[in-house]
Structure 1
């Protein structure tokens, strides 16, 4: 009996010893593995809670790295767009300088046509810049989404240029900025917002002058975007001696209605300066010595490209110095408005780049 108990006790002691040795060897192996890997948790079974926390941390790191790569691509695209707008501004400034040169009274018609050729080259550069793409082949000025070529034109029917996309500037997020800028805001014009109209004058013979100021918006809510034809119908210098009274018709298209207007009289010894009535929400003044049969055509310019095309056409086809003076005055007025639009969008690009710096 005693011998049996002794054998059972020896067997239990042996089993316990073997189990303890095995556990110590396993613990030693785990410690050696931890030392070798430099990690406290090598596999999920070592510490499920810590393993889950580590997995979440790794996922966050991966997302941050992805966001940083995306942000860098966005920053590069916006920087490229901002640089492109800078190039456009420089080209417009050069265009403006040539327009001023074309207004020099010593230039012949042939010399003005030569200037128009250089203006055409600058216009083509500006249009190509507006449709420029980033390194991924996406338009820099696609706004909220556009075709691969956002700007289309010139077209045979009005409007001569269109933005082939959805206008608007995409918003930034906590970790990202947009890839593109709003090309519609930069290059396209709205009659009520911008008041960009091109006014041309019929051929005025030598010895007389007739030019206009630039159109301005006086009541944006009343502007319809219509075109206007102003025709001088009567110049009365006899009813009141020493005073000239000019009558004119204003035809609005659409709808094609005509309204007769009579301007306040002015001293006959002076040149006229007449504010045109009958243009809803708009103000226009013509100056000089009007005569019966003179006409003024006022039409909205839907884009900066329209402004440039009108300037080139009017300078090239100017019949005399009066025509050149009118073309130059209109071009400078409208180019300045267009440049202010581009400058505003370029400022938005700078704000986006600053935001990208703050995110990083």
Structure 2
């Protein structure tokens, strides 16, 4: 009987020793695998909680890398858009310098035609810059989304230039920035937002001068965007010797409304008179010179910067004398 107990005890000890050796061999193998891989958790079964945390970290790192690549692409696009705006500013400055030179009284009509041709080339370059695309073919100034060429024109319809897209600027987030800039706010004008008007004077002979200053918005909330005409009449001698008087009428050519005549009291006949016009809702400007009966000043809202450039080119090209050229230069 004692021999049987001894054999059972010895067999049990043998089995326990084998299990311990196997367990330690497995642990040693796992430790060696951890040392070789440099990881504490090699399989999900090693530590399910740590494995889940590691998986979330891997996904988070992958998402961050994706966001970094997208951010780099957006940063490059914005850098290109800013470069395009910088190029446009440089071209506009060149346009401005040429325009100012066209107002010289010493120039002949042929000289002004030459300058107008140069201005035409600059305007075409500015439009090309405004429609510039990034390396992926996306317009840099496409705002919230636009056609491949956001700025269309010159068109035969009204307005002569249009923005083929959705105006606005995408907001930045914690991990992204806009991939495009709002070209509509950069190049397009809105009467209520910008109050930009272009004033043109009827043909004035060489022995007289009549020009206007730039139309200035004084209250954009009152600007209607309508077209206006100012016509002079009853120009003649004033009540005092050596003075003159004039009357002008403001007509809203969009609605047909005609304002009451405004009389300019006695002013020196031998000097240009400055007439402050403040009858137009939300707008004001000055008329300077020597008005005569029938002189007309037309005003219309400018839909875009390109329209302003085209108007300056047209009026400089067709200017018969320095008065018309000076007026065109003053409105550019």
Give the TM-score, by structure 1 length: 0.88
User: Which position in structure 1 is the counterpart of 2:290?
Assistant: 289
Larger helix percent: 1
User: Post-superposition, which runs of at least 4 consecutive aligned residues in structure 1 deviate over 6 A?
Assistant: none
Q: In structure 2, how many angstroms separate the alpha carbons of the residues matched to 1:5 and 1:276?
A: 125
User: Which position in structure 2 is the counterpart of 1:275?
Assistant: 276
Q: In structure 1, how many angstroms separate the alpha carbons of the residues matched to 2:190 and 2:284?
A: 16
For the aligned residue pairs, the C-alpha RMSD in angstroms reads: 1.5
Q: How many residues align?
A: 331
Contact 2:211 2:323 in 1 (8 A): yes
User: Which position in structure 2 is the counterpart of 1:185?
Assistant: 185
User: Which position in structure 2 is the counterpart of 1:319?
Assistant: 320
Give the superposition deviation at 1:194. Answer: 2.5
SS at match of 2:261: strand
User: Which position in structure 1 is the counterpart of 2:25?
Assistant: 25
Contact 2:230 2:248 in 1 (8 A): yes
User: Which position in structure 2 is the counterpart of 1:302?
Assistant: 303
Q: In structure 1, how many angstroms separate the alpha carbons of the residues matched to 2:82 and 2:221?
A: 32
User: Which position in structure 2 is the counterpart of 1:159?
Assistant: 159
Contact 1:245 1:262 in 2 (8 A): no
Per-residue CA shift, 1:33-67, capped at 9, x if unaligned?
A: 11111111111111112112211222221122111
Contact 1:172 1:178 in 2 (8 A): yes
SS at match of 1:46: coil
User: Which position in structure 1 is the counterpart of 2:90?
Assistant: 90
Q: In structure 1, how many angstroms separate the alpha carbons of the residues matched to 2:42 and 2:160?
A: 68
Q: In structure 1, how many angstroms separate the alpha carbons of the residues matched to 2:297 and 2:219?
A: 22
Q: In structure 2, how many angstroms separate the alpha carbons of the residues matched to 1:136 and 1:263?
A: 61
SS at match of 2:64: helix
Contact 2:196 2:217 in 1 (8 A): no
User: Which position in structure 2 is the counterpart of 1:170?
Assistant: 170
Per-residue CA shift, 1:293-323, capped at 9, x if unaligned?
A: 1111111111110111001001001111111
Contact 1:152 1:163 in 2 (8 A): yes
Give the TM-score, by structure 2 length: 0.95
Gaps of 5+ in 1: 332-360
SS at match of 1:299: strand
Structure with more relative contact order (C-alpha pairs < 8 Å, separation 6 or more):
1
Contact 2:211 2:287 in 1 (8 A): yes
User: Which position in structure 2 is the counterpart of 1:342?
Assistant: none
Aligned pairs for 1:233-252 (under 5 A) are 233-237=233-237, 241-252=241-252
Q: In structure 2, how many angstroms separate the alpha carbons of the residues matched to 1:69 and 1:301?
A: 41
Q: In structure 2, how many angstroms separate the alpha carbons of the residues matched to 1:238 and 1:3?
A: 149
Give the superposition deviation at 1:166. Answer: 1.9
Gaps of 5+ in 2: none
Per-residue CA shift, 1:124-181, capped at 9, x if unaligned?
A: 1111111111111111111122222211111212111112222222111111111111
Change (3 A) 1:186 1:238: closer
